[in-house]
Amino acid sequence: MDKIAVKIDDLTVAYNYKPVLWDIDLEIPEGVLMAIVGPNGAGKSTLIKSILGILKPIAGSVSIYGKSYEKQRSLVAYVPQKGSVDWDFPTTALDVVMMGTYGSLGWIKRPKQKEKKAALEALEKVGMLSFKNRQISQLSGGQQQRIFLARALVQNASIYFMDEPFQGVDATTEIAIINILKELRKAGKTLIVVHHDLQTVPEYFDWVTFLNVKKIATGPVKDIFNDDNLTKTYGINYKVSIQE
């Protein structure tokens, strides 16, 4: 058996009265590139946010490599939804990527040359080096998404959580991003990605979790990505019919 990177037990989350996530048990093995799919309001983002402690679950526990998330924080990086921040904030692309180093710096200490170098390398990896001094409001949606990815890369984590990194980006950026994700997986990292485009799941991912408030199924794409699970998740008779 592979090592388990993330283990979730009985996770239940509710915003008001209605539960958004119900009794989620999930084990994510190390080194997979996993998609979380499900309809709108299925709790995909909520799942990630609860794992990361941004939201407080009503019940349940999360462990990262067998220890609590608080102790393993440095192993985990997060790419939020692009729309979650104000891109008119007065700062540059490089500065945003530098933020990825703040966690390892801790309180009060300032980023130095070493951090700057790491940020520049990450920018280069996502193909945004020439935009380093660009005001972030003047970047296109795809470029902003790459900046967010670079910020997570700087954290040099083992597990990456990404909330819809392909949302609103053009084909070029989508390919650039998926190539970086595949590279990360090759390096032994674990990647958990909230994903919307069902067509590309078999092409991009090797592991998938179907979610709709409850967990429907989880496992290798080639075994469980089928019409049966899709129908269970989306409620309608869904046919993607994977080509053999």
What is the arrangement of strands in the sheet containing 59-64, beginning at the earlier edge strand?
Answer: 19-29, 4-14, 59-64, 67-68
Q: Which is nearer to another protein, 167 or 200 (CB)?
A: 167
> What is the rounded CA–CA span in Å between residue 195 and residue 42?
12
Name the residue type at position 200. T
Least CB distance to another protein at residue 44 (A)? 15
Least CB distance to another protein at residue 18 (A)? 14
> What is the rounded CA–CA span in Å between residue 170 and residue 27?
32
- CB count within 10 Å of CB 236 equals 9
Q: Is the dihedral of CA 4, 9, 15, 18 positive or negative?
A: positive
> What is the rounded CA–CA span in Å between residue 154 and residue 205?
23
Q: Which is nearer to another protein, 72 or 229 (CB)?
A: 72
What DSSP designation does 134 have?
S
**Site residues for another protein per CB under 8 A:** 49, 52-54, 70, 73-74, 76-78, 80, 84-86, 89-92, 96, 99, 102-103, 105, 107-111, 135, 137, 151
Q: Which is nearer to another protein, 135 or 226 (CB)?
A: 135
Least CB distance to another protein at residue 65 (A)? 16
Least CB distance to another protein at residue 222 (A)? 32
Q: Which is nearer to another protein, 95 or 197 (CB)?
A: 95
Q: Which is nearer to another protein, 4 or 99 (CB)?
A: 99
Q: Which is nearer to another protein, 85 or 242 (CB)?
A: 85
Least CB distance to another protein at residue 211 (A)? 20
What are the Cα distances from residue 70, in Å, to 54, 102, 104, 115, 195? 12, 16, 14, 23, 26
Least CB distance to another protein at residue 83 (A)? 12
Residues ≥6 apart with Cβ < 8 Å to 118: 101, 154, 156
Q: Which is nearer to another protein, 37 or 77 (CB)?
A: 77
Helices vs. strands in the chain: H and E counts, helices first: 10, 10
Quote the tokens at residue 167: 């949302």
Name the residue type at position 130. S
Least CB distance to another protein at residue 152 (A)? 9
